[in-house]
Amino acid sequence: MTAEILEVDLLRFERGDAAARAAVVDGVRRSLATGFVYTSHDLPEEVIDEAYAKLAEFFSLDQETKARFVAPGSHGQTGYTGLLVETAASADVPDWKEMLNWSDEPPVGHPLRRKYPHRYMDQVLPEAAVPGITSVLMLFHRRIFDLQRRFLRIIAVGLGAHEELFEGMLRDGSALTRALRYPAMTEAPGQEHVWAGEHGDINLITALPRATGPGLQVKTSDGWIDAVAPAGKVIINTGMMLEQLSNGVIPTGIHRVVAPPEQEGERYSVVQFCHPTPWTILSPLASCCTPDNPQRYGAIEAGDKLDEVLYQINLVEDARRV
């Protein structure tokens, strides 16, 4: 099992011959033993730059203004979430971070909105406080989602399935983009707090184009290692739903965010969680169940799995455990 995060080339998989595609699939499979991989991309740098500029403008606002964009009942799935709320399932103290969350919306009347009204709420973005932020953030969301959809084709092939396996699961899915501001640790209310405690993501895969500084660490068989995307690369990590579908062939990427000892200021990052539609049934793929790897998971609806984890991480507003 590798304890190294490898670099792969999404564009080579899409444009190369059979041998090139097979090499990319192999690299992804080997790297995902850690739950993490770095990939090339064709996302314009200006899309990332503009998103970070608007987000910095928002997070610099006073707390009273930011609190106007909390979305009651959303459980942190849209709008603003303040400091010391989200808590890693493994921790008893909240993370030292604040967040802005957004996603795309199916049309009014869509059956997903009717069946899952708490999952497909109207988006709450701070357009009134930061003019122009909505169009910038939605462009970012859609470009990252396109990247994730394409990368999942590599993963599908690596699991012995058709490369379009995930296409139907993602159509009108509840992919969520989350901007995070980690304040300076010197401002934290106690030494027990970290930027983000040890955890795994709930979704299929997460994408992180780049952050403003180090801090992301990955748990491997050799201990914790730093994860910093090389220039021009995107970090992809795996979530619990992919582990369930792959019958554990692809593990959840366990990670944390901790301030390096020399880090004095704040840190920003923007991540995107790629979820299947909430009515997707997460059941291990036949290609991943073998005599050497018998089925280890039952079936559960993706929306139910997400609700379970939202409770564990302290985002259910009327059931805070911390």
- According to the model, what pLDDT value does residue 2 have? 58
Closest CA to 313 of 128, 106, 69, 90: 90
Rounded-to-integer distance, Cα 319 and Cα 313, Å: 11
For the residues 266-289, what does the mean pLDDT come to?
A: 96
Instruction: Report the first-to-last Cα separation within the chain, whole angstroms.
Output: 36
pLDDT beyond 80 at 321:
no
- According to the model, what pLDDT value does residue 73 have? 84
pLDDT beyond 90 at 312:
no
Contact 93, 190 (CB under 8 A): yes
Q: What is the chain's mean pLDDT, rounded? A: 93
Distant-in-sequence, close-in-space partners of 100: CB < 8 Å, separation ≥ 6: 55, 58, 59, 69, 79, 80, 81, 125, 126, 178, 179
Question: Mean pLDDT lowest for which of 56-60, 118-122, 134-138, 318-322?
Answer: 318-322
Fold of 7-312: Jelly Rolls (2.60.120)
Residue 49 confidence class, pLDDT cut points 50, 70, 90 = very high
Rounded-to-integer distance, Cα 38 and Cα 69, Å: 33
Rounded-to-integer distance, Cα 96 and Cα 301, Å: 31
Contact 236, 6 (CB under 8 A): no
What is the H or E stretch that residue 29 is in? Answer: helix 18-31
- According to the model, what pLDDT value does residue 288 have? 97
pLDDT beyond 70 at 31:
yes
pLDDT tens-digit profile of 168-201? Answer: 999 888 899 999 999 999 999 988 899 999 999 9
pLDDT beyond 50 at 128:
yes
- According to the model, what pLDDT value does residue 120 have? 85
Residue 319 confidence class, pLDDT cut points 50, 70, 90 = low
Contact 195, 257 (CB under 8 A): yes
* Vertex 267 angle, CA 260 and 130, to 5°: 175
pLDDT tens-digit profile of 134-151? Answer: 999 999 999 999 999 999
Distant-in-sequence, close-in-space partners of 222: CB < 8 Å, separation ≥ 6: 3
- According to the model, what pLDDT value does residue 162 have? 96
For the chain, domain boundaries:
7-312
- According to the model, what pLDDT value does residue 207 have? 97
- Could you tell me the two tokens for 265? 């200021």
pLDDT tens-digit profile of 62-91? Answer: 999 999 999 988 888 899 999 999 888 878
- According to the model, what pLDDT value does residue 75 have? 80
Q: Each residue of 255-284: b (16+ CB within 10 Å) or e? A: bbbbbeeebeebbbbbbbbbbbbbebebeb
Q: Give me the residues paired with residue 270 across strands.
A: 179
